[in-house]
Amino acid sequence: MTIAYIAARWSDYGAAAVAAGATLSGLVFVAVSINLSRILGHPSLPARAWQTLGLLMTPLIVGFFLLIPGQSRTVLAWELIVSAVLLVTGRVAINRRAIRSEKDTPLPLVGRLAGLVSALLPALVSYACLAVAGATLLAQGGGGLYWLVPSVLVAIFFGLINAWTLLVDVPR
């Protein structure tokens, strides 16, 4: 069996993922705290803050599951799959409840679809990779835990972009 299917060999990656996710989640909390009145004053920004925290939960979840000592491959696989489903469900619910600003100009259908895709796509890619990691771990073929790498990297990259927006762009 290769390293892709042995969770115990991924504990260092899990520790790094937890550290990155926790640090960036803290940055989002600081950004929201500093700019709370401005964020609350714009109808779409509170949802963006929640979406960012949801995205940054991916490295935390991945890392915590990888750090559970002695857990079976099957249990880890199902934890990853169920987490992906719950994260997608939460992201879609938050996105549906996000309110557009009165200042935003009404967009044609193509513009609304493009906005929806850009808001959801990074998270859906990250969560899909998480689910694929679980499924291929169960199947013991197809990449296994290596699918966690793009899941975590996409979450961190787009979490950073959103954190920057909440911290720097909102005050402008």
Considering the entire predicted model, what is its pTM?
A: 0.84
The CA distances from residue 4 to 59, 62, 83, 96, 137, in Å, are 17, 14, 19, 36, 8
Q: Kindly report the length of the chain.
A: 172
**What is the pLDDT, as a whole number, of residue 117?**
63
**Per residue in 60-79, pLDDT tens?**
999 999 999 999 999 999 99
- Residue 109 reports pLDDT greater than 70: no
Report H helices in 35-72. Answer: 36-41, 45-66
